[in-house]
């Protein structure tokens, strides 16, 4: 501080003594300073405030009480005041600071007045420590700011006493709980807890009273309308200056949406984790951030191997540019859907994939990454190729069916029609809609239905016999059509039988021609009865069966004696009429339905005893009844061809009114009785009898 000043000290000291009592009575620190800035007097409050004794202050420059950083400025301001002194009261906005003997600084408020002593101006400064006032002001301003924060906060903020009585309830709390602040101030915080969580609220208050904070405690709260909702609760104790808990501030946050978002994220994570499709997430620069198990199976890399690596690792060398283009597109906010490309596995094999890539955005909408779903297209491409081949095959089938001259149909295994061609429609006289609404059995002749169903069952069972079968179908007009049918079992891609293809060829004309030939081969052209060839075949079959079963077979022959007289006297035309008439009479005299009776007709050559055979010998017509006791009437003999079935069952019984033993056809004598013979034949009353068989 330098040498203590001595100018005019004695005179000012005498004045200070006269004012001593007055100075000590003033509550503020008073300092008298002459125009040179030298301290002339101080009171006791000054000593207490600055920490100096009176003798250490008087005679020294006033700047010793000013912080060193402000001394030069203060000296300039002091000189300016001395030049134009005026009274200055306390409470100005000047930020003034003093410095104690120990060097500490503190805020002060200074009032200035001046006194003209004759020796110059004496400046009297009243100094007041405003530390507490500033603290109080700061506290007030802090309280105001805090009140504004609480009032306009988006979070519910609730204050309460240590025993849980609410002292403040901000608007956000009103919106959250549905109560107004008027309703809640003075009430217990337990009002906001469900009945089953009251003990929980008490435990929180006990923790606060112990001076401990509660952070992010998830619990349930109840609104005014009774609805409950999840909250995350943070509670802090309020302490006074002595550290005593005088209250608590609670900030409850509604975590309903957060829980829903968390649950949704958990579900999404589970979907990604257990998805059958490879799902890969990456940052915007292509660095992989997630790699699900399906991706591990698809590419052969584990998640540990891939997280942190670039997605370019999955690209073939000739497609890295393609990867960069995809990243650029997704980085611009665009999605990539079903983009097919070739990628590489860990073992080096390449395979086709279909990529769907979407941008991942943050809350501000900025693209921060990508999410890609990769599907192996190997099987899909094979399936597509198979589908194209199948479509081509189906087109070929359609062309073949449309152009085929025979009827073709595709039917389900139950016989329901799926597809029919025009030739089949024309064959039976039905349109396509009729077929599609019906089954195979609806067009088969009733007599052939059972066999047709059995044949279908054999085809479905996997019979390898692809030979054609014959059956009858019924046209729309009721006519019967004979067809040759071939059935083929069709299988799907898995080898399961699913369709039957039928090929139907009209053979009605062929069948009728064959029937006519068969009829001619086994029937007499004049009488229409079975001929000798037929009866010999029947006898062979029946004799074998009779021998095997121990039965007997009988045969009855009826001759027309002296028939040559008719031929020679009346001519062969008349003889043919006689034969036809006799055949009709015999047929009329027999009753159908008996067991094992068959009527037949034949010609024999006869020559008398001892007479040589000669051409043109007499020819007799012989009628016979074959008695087969072991075969039921109306049934076919075993092992006969089907082509003669319409003509092999003319089984008739003799009329029971005329026993077989008395029946005989007898002609009149040849010598001299031609007129009587003619008359007898014209009357038609020749009596039948039994004659010997001719060998």
pLDDT at 653: 37
DSSP 579-636: HHHHHHHHHHTEEET-TTEEEEEEEEEE--TTPPP-TT-EEEEEEEEEEETTS-TTPP
Q: State the total domains in the chain.
A: 5
Residue 289 forms part of a structural domain: yes
Binning pLDDT at 50, 70 and 90, where does residue 591 land?
low
Say if residue 463 is in the same domain as residue 536: no
- Helix (H) / strand (E) element for 31: namely strand 29-34
pLDDT tens digits, 48-68:
999 999 899 999 999 999 999
Q: To the nearest 10°, report the CA torsion of 491, 497, 498, 502.
A: 80
Do 108 and 238 share a domain, yes or no? no
Lowest-pLDDT range of 43-47, 111-115, 542-546, 685-689: 685-689
Residue 261 lies in a domain: no
Q: What is the pLDDT of residues 4-49, one digit of tens each?
A: 555 455 454 555 455 577 778 888 899 999 988 999 989 999 999 9
With vertex at residue 68, the alpha carbon angle to CA 63 and CA 70, rounded to the nearest 5 degrees, is 80
pLDDT digits (tens, 9 = 90+) for 445-464: 999 999 888 888 888 888 77
Domain boundary among 129, 156, 183: 129
- On the question of pLDDT at 672 being above 60, the answer is no
- pLDDT tens-place string over residues 179-199: 999 999 999 999 999 999 988
Q: Does 647 share its domain with 553?
A: yes
- Boundary of a domain, candidates 452, 471, 506: 506
Encode 610-621: b = buried (16+ Cβ within 10 Å), e = exposed: eeeeeeeeeebb
Tokens representing 612? 């040589």
pLDDT digits (tens, 9 = 90+) for 594-653: 444 455 555 544 444 444 444 333 344 445 544 443 444 444 444 434 433 433 333 333
Average model confidence (pLDDT) across the chain: 79
pLDDT band at 682 (very low <50, low <70, confident <90, very high): very low
Domain region containing 107 = 9-129
pLDDT band at 91 (very low <50, low <70, confident <90, very high): low
- Both 445 and 557 in one domain: the answer is no
Residue 388 in this model has a pLDDT that exceeds 50: yes
Q: What is the domain-level CATH number for residue 82?
A: 3.30.450.20
Q: Are residues 250 and 282 in the same domain?
A: no
Residue 269 lies in a domain: no
Share of the chain above pLDDT 70, in %: 81
Same domain, 621 and 677: yes
pLDDT digits (tens, 9 = 90+) for 395-415: 777 787 788 888 888 899 888
Distance separating alpha carbons of residues 564 and 546, to the nearest angstrom: 37
Contacts of 465 (CB under 8 A, 6+ apart): 458
Query: What is the pLDDT, as a whole number, of residue 523?
Result: 82
User: What stretches of 319-475 adopt beta strand conformation (E)?
Assistant: 336-344, 350-361, 367-376, 407-411, 417-420, 469-474
Domain stop point among 341, 376, 411: 376
Contact (Cβ atoms closer than 8 angstroms) between residue 224 and residue 243: no
Write out pLDDT tens, residues 226-265: 999 999 999 999 988 888 999 999 999 999 888 888 888 7
Examine the domain organization and report whether 622 and 648 are in the same domain.
yes
Distance between CA atoms of 149 and 311, rounded to whole angstroms? Answer: 48
Is 141 domain-assigned? no
Domain assignment present for residue 86? The answer is yes
Same domain, 188 and 234: yes
Mean of the pLDDT values across residues 671-675? 42
Q: Which residues are 298's β-sheet partners? A: none
Q: Is residue 70 part of a domain?
A: yes
pLDDT on residue 245? 92
- 535 shares a domain with 658: yes
Question: Given a cut of 50, is residue 561 above it in pLDDT?
Answer: yes
Residue 202 lies in a domain: yes
Q: Is residue 186 located within the same domain as residue 233?
A: yes
Residue entry with tokens 């198990």 = 293
Q: Using an 8 Å Cβ cutoff, are 298 and 306 in contact?
A: no
β strands within 380-435, DSSP E: 407-411, 417-420
Q: Give φ, ψ of 513 to 5 degrees.
A: -65, -40
- What residue has token string 């009728």? 512
361 and 292 housed in the same domain: yes
Q: Which of 453, 629, 477 is nearest to 555 (CA)?
A: 629
Whether the per-residue pLDDT at 350 is higher than 90: the answer is yes
Whether 577 and 677 map to the same domain: the answer is yes
Nearest to 566 by CA among 664, 673, 663: 673
Q: The tokens of 23 are what?
A: 């100075």
Tell me what pLDDT residue 107 has. 92
Q: Of 69-78, 293-302, 575-584, where does mean pLDDT reach its minimum?
A: 575-584
Does any domain span residue 431? yes
């Amino acid at each position: 501080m330098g040498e203590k000043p001595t100018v005019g000290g004695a005179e000012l000291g005498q004045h200070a003594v006269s004012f001593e009592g007055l100075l000590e009575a003033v509550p503020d620190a008073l300092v008298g300073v002459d125009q040179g800035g030298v301290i002339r007097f101080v009171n006791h409050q000054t000593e207490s405030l600055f920490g100096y004794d009176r003798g250490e202050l008087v005679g020294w420059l006033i700047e010793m009480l000013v912080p060193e950083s402000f001394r030069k400025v203060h000296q300039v301001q002091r000189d300016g005041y001395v030049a134009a002194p005026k009274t200055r009261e306390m409470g100005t906005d000047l930020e003034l600071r003093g410095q104690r003997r120990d060097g500490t600084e503190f805020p002060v408020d200074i009032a200035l007045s001046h006194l003209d002593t004759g020796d110059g101006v004496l400046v009297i400064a009243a100094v007041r420590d405003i530390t507490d006032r500033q603290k109080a002001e700061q506290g007030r301003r802090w309280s105001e700011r805090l009140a504004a924060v609480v009032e306009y906060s988006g979070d519910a903020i609730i204050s309460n006493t240590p025993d849980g009585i609410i002292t403040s309830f901000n608007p956000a709390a009103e919106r959250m709980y549905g109560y107004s602040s008027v309703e809640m101030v003075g009430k217990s915080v337990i009002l906001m807890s469900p009945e089953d969580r009251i003990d929980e609220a008490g435990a929180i208050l006990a923790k606060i009273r112990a001076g401990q904070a509660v952070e992010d405690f998830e619990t349930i709260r109840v609104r005014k309308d009774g609805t409950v909702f999840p909250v995350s609760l943070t509670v802090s104790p309020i302490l006074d200056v002595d550290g005593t808990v005088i209250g608590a501030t609670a900030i409850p946050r509604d975590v309903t949406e957060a829980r829903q978002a968390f649950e949704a994220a958990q579900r999404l994570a589970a979907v990604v984790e257990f998805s059958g499709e490879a799902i890969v997430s990456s940052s915007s620069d292509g660095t992989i951030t997630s790699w699900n198990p399906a991706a591990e199976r698809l590419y052969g890399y584990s998640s540990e191997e891939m997280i942190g690596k670039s997605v370019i690792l999955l690209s073939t060398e000739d497609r890295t540019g393609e990867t960069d283009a995809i990243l650029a597109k997704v980085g611009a906010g665009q999605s990539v859907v079903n983009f097919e490309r070739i990628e590489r596995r860990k073992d080096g094999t390449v395979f086709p994939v279909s990529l769907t890539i979407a941008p991942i955005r943050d809350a501000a909408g900025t693209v921060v990454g990508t999410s890609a779903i990769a599907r192996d297209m190997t099987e899909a491409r094979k399936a597509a190729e198979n589908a194209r081949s199948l479509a081509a095959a189906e087109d070929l089938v359609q062309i073949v069916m449309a152009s085929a001259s025979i009827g073709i149909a595709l039917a389900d295994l139950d016989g329901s029609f799926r597809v029919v061609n025009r030739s089949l429609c024309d064959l039976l006289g039905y349109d396509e809609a009729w077929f599609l609404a019906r089954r195979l059995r609806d067009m088969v002749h009733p007599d052939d239905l059972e066999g047709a169903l059995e044949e279908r069952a054999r085809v479905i069972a996997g019979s390898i016999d692809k030979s054609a079968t014959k059956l009858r179908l019924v046209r729309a007009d009721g006519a019967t059509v004979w067809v040759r049918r071939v059935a083929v079992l069709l299988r799907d891609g898995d080898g399961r039988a699913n369709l039957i293809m039928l090929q139907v060829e009209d053979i009605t004309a062929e069948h009728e021609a064959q029937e006519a030939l068969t009829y001619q081969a086994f029937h007499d052209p004049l009488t229409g009865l079975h001929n000798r060839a037929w009866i010999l075949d029947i006898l062979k079959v029946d004799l074998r069966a009779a021998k095997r079963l121990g039965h007997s077979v009988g045969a009855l022959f009826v001759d027309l004696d002296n028939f040559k007289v008719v031929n020679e006297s009346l001519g062969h035309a008349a003889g043919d009429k006689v034969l036809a008439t006799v055949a009709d009479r015999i047929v009329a005299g027999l009753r159908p339905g008996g067991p094992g009776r068959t009527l037949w007709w034949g010609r024999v050559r006869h020559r008398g005893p001892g007479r040589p055979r000669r051409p043109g010998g007499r020819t007799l017509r012989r009628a016979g009844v074959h008695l087969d006791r072991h075969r039921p009437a109306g049934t076919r003999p075993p092992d006969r061809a089907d082509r003669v079935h319409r003509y092999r069952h003319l089984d008739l019984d003799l009329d029971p009114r005329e026993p077989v033993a008395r029946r005989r056809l007898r002609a009149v004598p040849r010598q001299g009785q031609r007129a009587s013979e003619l008359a007898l034949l014209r009357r038609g009353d020749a009596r039948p009898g039994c004659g010997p068989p001719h060998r």
